[in-house]
Amino acid sequence: MVSIIDLWLPILVSSVFVFVLSSLLHMLLKYHQSDFSGLPEETKVLEALRPFKIPPGDYYFPHAEGMEACKSPEYIEKATNGPVGMMTICENGPPTMGGALIGWFCYSIVVSIFAAYLSSRAVGPGGYYLEVFRFAGCTAFVGYSLALLQNSIWYKRKWSSTLKSMFDGLLYALVTAGTFGWLWPGL
């Protein structure tokens, strides 16, 4: 068995590689630009919402306080008349990437720690590259991709957006797996 401490290098290096790869994917390929659409008559919608000073958070509308309320004629009428939707309200101001990038890098470290843990329980010191690759890659794919399916199932995110993000996760998993296979400790 390999100690997690002995895997600090592949954990850190794979996280850096994933961070760089994700930056390149989003800056160069730009296939995520179609993940979100603009609102029709956006200016009017923003002007209509602004007076409400909606605090940052996640919202579902029309909102019901439980399953019984969903059966009420008032709620059914609101839902039938629409619009029905979910939205996330962010802090006002120009978007900043600093906090998100730090969070993403920390998340990549967490995924790599799980990949290290499971791989270290399955493969001993001096393990074969492909054996390490298989365990680290599978674990990283689960960490980067599988939970994204819930966004389309429950939150109605476009399947194309979810599948593109899962493809990114596959690439991140392959990079993680390759890094672990390369830097796996010997006997």
Give the model confidence (pLDDT) of 78-93 as tens digits.
Answer: 999 999 999 999 999 9
Average pLDDT value for residue range 53-74? 94
d(CA 72, CA 64): 9
Confidence bin at 4 (pLDDT 50/70/90): very high
Q: What is the 3-state secondary structure (H, E, C) of 114-132?
A: HHHHHHHHHCCCCCCHHHH
Same domain, 102 and 148: yes
Same domain, 137 and 75: no
Same domain, 85 and 122: no
Confidence bin at 187 (pLDDT 50/70/90): confident
Same domain, 132 and 116: yes
Q: Across the chain, what does the average pLDDT equal? A: 96
Average pLDDT value for residue range 58-64? 95
d(CA 139, CA 156): 26
Residues constituting the chain: 187
Same domain, 81 and 14: no
- Other C-beta atoms closer than 10 Å to the C-beta of 41 total 10
What DSSP element (H or E) covers 61? strand 57-61
pLDDT given for residue 159 in this prediction: 97
Same domain, 27 and 117: yes
Total domains present in the chain: 2
Task: Say if CB 87 and CB 59 are below 8 A apart.
Answer: yes
d(CA 119, CA 4): 10
Same domain, 60 and 135: no
Average pLDDT value for residue range 34-51? 95
Same domain, 67 and 25: no
Same domain, 31 and 46: no
Same domain, 173 and 106: yes
Same domain, 32 and 52: no
Average pLDDT value for residue range 103-126? 97
Which residues span the domain enclosing 161? Answer: 5-36+96-183
pLDDT given for residue 64 in this prediction: 93
